[in-house]
Amino acid sequence: MSNQLAGKVALVTGGSRGIGAAIVRRLASDGANVAFSYAASEDRAKALAAEIEKAGGTALPIKADSADADAVKAAVAQTVDRLGRIDILVNNAGIHIGGVADDYNIADFDRMIAVNVRAVIVAVQAALPHMGEGSRIITTGSITADRSGFAGSSVYSMTKRDVAAMTRGLARDLGSRGITVNTVQPGPIETDMIADQAQRAMVRPLMAIGRLGKDAEVASLVAYLAGPESSFVTGAALTIDGGYLA
């Protein structure tokens, strides 16, 4: 435990599993009091909160579907009500619904936009009144913002490119307030999104270091951006991909 975030309050959306859960664990281990939202994985959310509490930390699970703007706002309000403020906002909630262009379901398109893009600005707007100088906003993007890589990822890639563009604009909007805004762009990571072993075997040769990433490795980059040493980093899209784009 570094305690670099001691006394800080963090809200992580989509924090019950995968990269989100790793971020929750890391921020808590660095001393932050962490609230996190989840849409459906209630058992995982409760188990994660219990794990952090057992280790001496503070974790507040909040049920909130990021596709629902009102639920996102309510998650922010509950965090502030229970923990007092928000110093670190991590927009991690995201979904991937693949499909090729000629038969892509528009309802899936709308849901991808709602979760991957709209929820980010909704959370930012709701959190800003409770954030002061030195606060951090971090969003989980994807290397698909720069390279789709495979057929069927056009809409997902678009949403992640939107996140990177929004990050640059928000950095300009909030820089004078001393609030930094950054995006992390993971490459292939060993999570539920790439759960199939055949998929992993297909992707592995494309990695410069010959393996997929770990969720804890992404969390370490988020922890850096959340901490005091990153105070001069803003408006950046930081790739963490094991050389996939190299």
Shortest CA distance to 28 belongs to which of 43, 50, 6? 6
Coil, helix or strand for 94?
coil
What is the C-alpha separation between 13 and 92, in angstroms, rounded? 5
Q: Which residues are catalytic?
A: 156
**Which element (helix H / strand E) includes 138?**
strand 136-140
Shortest CA distance to 84 belongs to which of 131, 134, 37? 131
Distance set, CA 89 to CA 33, 54, 142, 230 (Å): 12, 24, 18, 15
DSSP state at residue 181: E
